[in-house]
């Protein structure tokens, strides 16, 4: 499975004031279906609808749908970087409109201060799934699974090289209920470049490196 992230710029900032205290929310299209995005991928809206249904049931309704401030490099939501809680995610046509509340966490306070001073922020969905190429376009597979519907990012308009750098040659696999990263290309190179007499040794070395991180 690949780590897949998509950035969306068009989010609206909402402010609610209670007892003299401001509460910030962000709202907008967190996921977009049936169009080729600028990363060259297409999410069929039927696949998104199925996964959003699961995400709503298992995360949003149970107050477990959180996102981070910044660009995480894996599928796990890190509690020390959580900045907001996603409170709703609903389908409108081929898009899925989300709403998130900025939390009173350390990262949430940073995000709130930025929003309060008028800084423009975007959101980035983060998920796992396979990619299948059809007619020169990468289609996200039926196994797509959301890690979070929205992280908050400062540079949604130019993340392509960064995202590609993270994704290239990387695979994530389930291991005892946890997603673990495997550097597949490094193991392949070790095998392909080793002399025949050292093939078994190269294989063992490659997998030892993976295990030791």
Q: Which pLDDT belongs to residue 79?
A: 95
Q: Which pLDDT belongs to residue 165?
A: 36
CA–CA distance, 173 with 160 (Å, rounded to integer): 24
Contact partners, residue 73, CB within 8 Å, separation at least 6 = 166
CA dihedral for 122, 72, 91, 64, sign (positive or negative)? negative
Phi, psi of 19 (to 5 degrees): 55, 40
Average pLDDT estimate for 135-157:
87
Phi, psi of 201 (to 5 degrees): -65, -40
pLDDT in tens, 43-60: 999 999 999 999 999 999
pLDDT in tens, 68-93: 998 887 888 999 999 999 999 999 99
3-state secondary structure of 119: coil
Q: Which residue has the higher pLDDT, 73 or 10?
A: 73
């Amino acid at each position: 499975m690949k780590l897949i992230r998509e950035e969306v710029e068009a989010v609206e900032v909402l402010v609610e004031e209670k007892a003299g205290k401001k509460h910030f929310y962000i709202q907008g299209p967190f996921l977009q279906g049936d169009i080729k995005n600028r990363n060259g991928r297409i999410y069929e809206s039927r696949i998104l609808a199925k996964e959003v249904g699961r995400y709503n049931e298992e995360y949003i309704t149970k107050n477990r749908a959180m996102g981070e401030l910044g660009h995480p490099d894996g599928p796990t939501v890190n509690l020390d970087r959580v900045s907001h809680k996603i409170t709703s995610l609903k389908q409108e046509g081929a898009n899925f409109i989300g709403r998130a509340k900025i939390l009173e966490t350390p990262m949430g306070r940073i995000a709130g201060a930025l929003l309060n001073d008028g800084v423009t922020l975007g959101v980035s969905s983060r998920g796992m799934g396979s990619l299948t190429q059809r007619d020169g376009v990468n289609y996200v597979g039926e196994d797509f699974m959301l890690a979070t519907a929205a992280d908050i990012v400062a540079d949604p308009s130019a993340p392509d090289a960064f995202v590609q750098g993270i994704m290239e040659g990387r695979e994530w696999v389930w291991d005892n209920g946890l997603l673990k990263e495997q550097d597949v290309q490094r193991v392949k190179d070790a095998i392909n470049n080793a002399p025949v007499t050292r093939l078994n040794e190269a294989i063992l070395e490659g997998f030892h490196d993976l295990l030791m991180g």
